[in-house]
Chains A and B, each alone.
Chain A
Amino acid sequence: MTKVLMKGNEAIGAAAIQAGCKYFFGYPITPQSELPEYMSRELPKVGGVFLQAESEVAAINMVYGAAGAGARVMTSSSSPGMALKQEGISYIAGAELPCLLVNIMRGGPGLGSIQPSQTDYFQATRGGGNGDYRMVVFAPADVQELVDLIIEGFDIADQYKNPVMVLGDGMIGQMMEPVEFKTPVKRELAEKDWATVGTGGNRKPNIINSLYIAAEDLEAHNIKLQAKYKKMRENESRVESYNIEDADVVIAAYGTTSRIAKTAIAKLEKEGYKVGLIRPITLWPYPFDEFKKINPNCKGILTVEMNNGQMIDDVKIAVEGKFPVSFYGRTGGMVPTPDAIIEHVKKIYGGDR
């Protein structure tokens, strides 16, 4: 297959359509608006429907309806819009419906800015909406990975009957890179015999619901959900790591910041430093086990994010106090530079390399 040059946001749309997504409900917000624009152009060509909702709240509830009706459906937004979608995401998780969510993050809190950020890590991995739910959260680092994960994300959503989120930032949404649309590995998926499509007069009504008014019933539902999340934890965690068995310092970074970290590591190696990288591809389930492979004599872990320190909590859980964990982050749309990362790594080295 040949490679084509595509903008991240448009590549998401192309990948979704290749994955068989026929329905998109959304509301404009920078820096992800090229995606709904792309879908409004391209979905009708494949017999699908793009609908611009009156709000993010309505859009996510349209997704709920369409997912319940058995469709492959997605929505996208950026941070403040994603905040509004949390109500619906909780209902979708509660009713066990599959759908794909894309958050191209920008700075906050509040209206913040339109520049790239990673400030919604907590919102994405800790629930965001009410209740005890989880979803697979992917953090692609380049447009090719974005495409691959979008395509697989729909299958994962269907397999677990759960929302899947792709968490990018303004940088990855806006940048252009060559991508190849490979034939994806298809998962074995059950029929959607639970969907509301009309009984046709030959079965009992299907009900899509997240209400369990009796305490025992709701607890039973939650036990079932947690068993599902356990399976996701066991089977869906993904990570890329580099040189961690050998490293004196390990950088933990995801998405855009992981690319900057790679540049810093390459420079440091030239100077004789041994620096490894752990790049979680899934932010949930978090690849905790990977941290067990780190060189026991490692001097410390540096977490780099475009926020004030969110993933650092997971890194601390992962290292179980074995290594000191420090943090370097920029906010407001400022992007960490390789040189600043290098400075932080050298500080951990403390002069002795």
Chain B
Amino acid sequence: MTIVFEKTNGLTDVQTHYCPGCTHGIVHRLVGEVLVELGVLDKAIGVAPVGCSVFAYNYFNCDMQQAAHGRAPAVATGIKRVHPDNFVFTYQGDGDLASIGTAEIVHAAHRGEKISTIFINNAIYGMTGGQMAPTTLIGQKATTAPLGRTEEHSGRPIKVSEMLATIHGAAFVERVAVNNPANIRKAKKAIKECFQIQLEGKGFGIVEVLSTCPTNWGLTAPEAMKWLEENMMPYYPLGNYRRPEEVE
């Protein structure tokens, strides 16, 4: 019998707690697969954020540290400076990375810290019950923006990839989505390229993943995918924002 589909050894056997239709699980799998395919699982040290993916430390089959809200890039910096030959990555949500931890991600990128970041942009705070994130779209309702976000009150949603791409130390910046099989394949390719940048010692790398939060968006899983395509993708264009060739 030929095996056509298998659980990756990059993930543990622990069942994840994510809601049905949540794309955190898809991204976990991609990261796990890439860790195995690049042969770095045994020397990988991951940093889990605060947010729905806080339990990522139970899911990735490698050494893990859990960080305070937003501080994962600083924690990863500490690890990487001690073990420069290990593979160090952070996995962070948009509340974590783009709000409370903006300074930490900007400066990790700025130092050209040789770490890799997976950044889950689901345009909302998931874990605490759907409050507005810096990435929440104009007009989008959140529990702390009951009438919908307005530019006048909260500014426009922050474009993290575009912002980090202006930073010299960021060697790799790409925005992907996991809304259909073709994009999932592209997302995996970007994660692999990003991780390779670290292995080659070229600097900081980040992959922003447009993701769903059907629970807090108040949508079914298929509706959430559609909402992501129709609302998030136009404002957050997919594509590569920075590659090593551009890093002089």
Interface residues of A (CB under 8 A from B): 22-23, 25, 49, 51, 53-55, 57-59, 61-71, 73, 87-88, 91, 95, 196-201, 205-211
Contacts and interface: CB of A to CB of B under 8 A. Distances in A.
Contact of A66 (B58, B78, B103): B78
B43 A61 contact: no
A209 B68 contact: no
Closest 9 CB pairs of A and B: A65-B78, A61-B74, A196-B63, A66-B78, A62-B78, A65-B75, A198-B43, A201-B42, A54-B107
Nearest to A210: B66
Nearest to B57: A207
A66 B81 contact: yes
Given A23-B81, A61-B75, A69-B79, A198 B68 contact: no
A198 B65 CA distance: 11
B195 interface: no
A61 B68 contact: yes
B131 interface: no
Question: Which among A59, A65, A71, A206 has the greatest number of chain B C-beta atoms within 10 A?
Answer: A65
20 contacts: A49-B81, A54-B103, A55-B103, A57-B103, A58-B71, A58-B77, A62-B74, A62-B81, A64-B74, A66-B78, A68-B65, A68-B78, A87-B68, A87-B71, A88-B68, A196-B79, A198-B44, A206-B64, A210-B66, A211-B66
Interface in B63-115: 63-68, 71, 74-83, 86-87, 103-104, 106-107
B71 A66 contact: no
Question: Which among B75, B77, B78 has the greatest number of chain A C-beta atoms within 10 A?
Answer: B78
Contacts of B12: 205
Contacts of A58: 71, 74, 77, 103-104, 107
Interface in B38-59: 41-45, 47, 54, 57-58
B14 to A, nearest CB: 11
Contacts of A53: 74, 107
Nearest to A201: B42
Given A69-B79, A196-B65, 4 more contacts: A64-B74, A64-B75, A65-B77, A210-B66
Contacts of A65: 47, 65, 67, 74-80, 82
Nearest to A62: B78
Contacts of B62: 198-199, 205
Given A61-B67, A64-B75, A208-B64, A200 B81 contact: no
Contacts of A91: 67-68
A64 B47 CA distance: 11
A87 B65 CA distance: 16
B198 interface: no
Given A58-B104, A207-B57, A66 B82 contact: yes
Contacts of B82: 22-23, 49, 65-66, 69-71, 73
Interface in B2-53: 12, 41-45, 47
A64 B63 contact: no
A66 B82 CA distance: 6
A205 B63 contact: yes
Contacts of A206: 63-64
Nearest to A55: B103
A198 B45 contact: yes
A208 B72 CA distance: 13
B60 interface: yes
Nearest to B50: A211
Nearest to B83: A69
B79 A68 contact: yes
A280 B41 CA distance: 49
A211 B78 CA distance: 20
A313 to B, nearest CB: 30
B61 interface: yes
A22 B106 CA distance: 26
Contacts of A209: 57, 64-66
A207 B58 contact: yes
Contacts of A51: 77, 81
A160 to B, nearest CB: 20
Contacts of B41: 199, 201
B73 to A, nearest CB: 8
Contacts of A64: 65, 67-68, 71, 74-75, 78
Nearest to A59: B74
A23 B78 contact: yes
Contacts of B63: 196-199, 205-207
B58 to A, nearest CB: 7
A85 to B, nearest CB: 11
Contact of A61 (B45, B54, B78, B86): B78
Nearest to A203: B63
Contacts of A200: 42-43
Interface in B188-246: none
A211 B63 CA distance: 16
B75 A197 contact: no
A23 to B, nearest CB: 6
A68 B67 CA distance: 11
Nearest to B72: A61
A314 to B, nearest CB: 30
Contact of B64 (A71, A88, A205, A210): A205
Contacts of A68: 65, 75, 78-79
Contacts of A95: 65-66
Nearest to A206: B63
A69 B64 CA distance: 10
